[in-house]
Structure 1
Amino acid sequence: MGVVDELWRFPRWTQSPGEELANTISHGIGLLAALIGTPVLLLAALDAGSDGFFVGTIIFAVTMLVLYLGSTLYHAWPQTRAKCVLQVFDHSAIFLLIAGTYTPFTLGPLRGVWGWTVLGLIWSLAIFGVIMKATRGTSRHPKLGLSLYLGMGWSALIVILPLISAIPRPALFWLVVGGIAYTTGVLFFVNNRLRYAHFVWHLFVLIGT
């Protein structure tokens, strides 16, 4: 794997052992919470009565578990070639979670032209992002990757009016809170100088999900 070879030759491990421990614990807790919460989430989606929403919720739950599992393994792993592979997986999983978050709403409340359009757009961008990380690595095109994360996250504004009319106000409120949490966390995600900044980013991800 050329990308892994390059990452291994020019490693950019910026986290101290203490920071990596905090990173591992934070998303390890997130993984445990996701495992516990997934059955509850699926039962609630099943009660909603929409097959599309239920299927979308399954996809969201899978992407959430993938993200927390990948992140926990990456930060817990010693500095070997395998950690380079997990780093690519960790960054790629962010794209999947963003797309997974859209899926229940596009297959449920927004089903139809709006829903299919947004679903196709978001998953196309997610696939592009994953391919970019897998073929170009995590250190190249950082601004493009970050722009994709933020752009995908706030693409919901495209359908804000139909979304307002399609989902309950509390659900809309928590979607906005999640978006703000992720966006605020990005400030720490890109900060390599502040100690435990990545750990703080993890906390905002926990809030967002």
Structure 2
Amino acid sequence: MCRTTAWVTLTYVTVTYASSSKEATVEELLPKPRLRGWFHLGMAPFVQLAGLILIVAAPALIARIGIAIYLVGATLLFATSAIYHRGTWSPRMGGFLRRLDHANIFIFIAGTYTPLALLLLDAGHATVLLTLIWAIAAFGIAFKLGWMGAPRWLYTGLYIAMGWVAVGWLIPFWNAGGPVIVALIVLGGLIYSAGAVVYALKKPDPAPAWFGYHEVFHVATVVAALCHFAAIALVVLR
């Protein structure tokens, strides 16, 4: 029994299914906390509705384009995450959804940058930032799709590093948007980073049967996304 328990609780152990030659983690085989996926399931329709309202309210075409890109990224992230985490899947389908779930994080980060850069930065700064951030996103997507078994600390660190690329443009953001918008951007980044650390360390894990470390991570992503959405809305509607 002790050996079985120890084996099951190993972190991020990879099991190869000979029948499908696909990989899944032992974590996916364990019972999910009861709240797994519910926070992203609730966030998905909210983001869609709020994003569509913001597109309609936006006074300029460039703002609508930026918000639309953000909306696609946010919808992919929260909807795919909800489907993956709420469902019970075969090893093959679970592995596919897990790849999408992780790859979508890169799209969402780049999508969040897009309206802020388009609306707050001059053409030169916006071009440099968006070229850089979408290039990182493309690399990250290829990285996750090609190496799903990468160490958790490695791809989590890439998420965090990508998220903080904006530090190099904080002064132009401040000059164009003011302290409130910059504060929301930074606060969202700090919350995302804290959630990513929880995900990487799998701690704290307050109530594994109901609300585990992964739920802490999901709540952090929701709160951080709301901060950044508020910043985008303030920029668009000011």
Normalised by the size of structure 2, how large is the TM-score? 0.77
Number of residue equivalences: 201
Query: Per-residue CA shift, 1:174-204, capped at 9, x if unaligned?
Result: 1111111101111221133633100110000
Distance 1:180 1:12, change over 3 A: same
Deviation at 1:173, TM superposition (A): 1.8
Q: Which has the higher helix share?
A: 1
1:136 lines up with 2:136 in the alignment:
no
Deviates more, 1:112-121 or 1:183-192: 183-192
When Rg is computed on C-alpha atoms for both structures, the one with the higher figure is: 2
Query: Per-residue CA shift, 1:88-127, capped at 9, x if unaligned?
Result: 0000010000000110122221131111001000000000
**CA–CA distance in structure 2, aligned partners of residues 190 and 8 of structure 1:** 26
Q: Which of 96, 99, 104 is the equivalent residue of 1:93?
A: 104
Determine the structure 2 residue equivalent to 1:17.
31
Q: State the identity as a percent.
A: 25
Determine the structure 2 residue equivalent to 1:119.
130
**CA–CA distance in structure 2, aligned partners of residues 178 and 158 of structure 1:** 16
Determine the structure 1 residue equivalent to 2:221.
205
Determine the structure 2 residue equivalent to 1:169.
179
Deviates more, 1:4-13 or 1:32-41: 4-13
Amino acid of the residue matched to residue 70 of structure 2? Answer: F
Q: Which of 58, 61, 74 is the equivalent residue of 2:68?
A: 58
Determine the structure 2 residue equivalent to 1:30.
43
Structure 1, unaligned stretches of length 5 or more?
Answer: none
SS at match of 2:127: helix
Deviation at 1:22, TM superposition (A): 1.2
CA RMSD after TM alignment? 2.1
Given that 2:170 and 2:182 are in contact with CA atoms closer than 8 Å, whether structure 1 keeps it comes out as: no
**CA–CA distance in structure 2, aligned partners of residues 85 and 22 of structure 1:** 22
Deviation at 1:5, TM superposition (A): 6.9
Distance 1:41 1:168, change over 3 A: farther
Given that 2:24 and 2:94 are in contact with CA atoms closer than 8 Å, whether structure 1 keeps it comes out as: no
Given that 1:53 and 1:105 are in contact with CA atoms closer than 8 Å, whether structure 2 keeps it comes out as: no
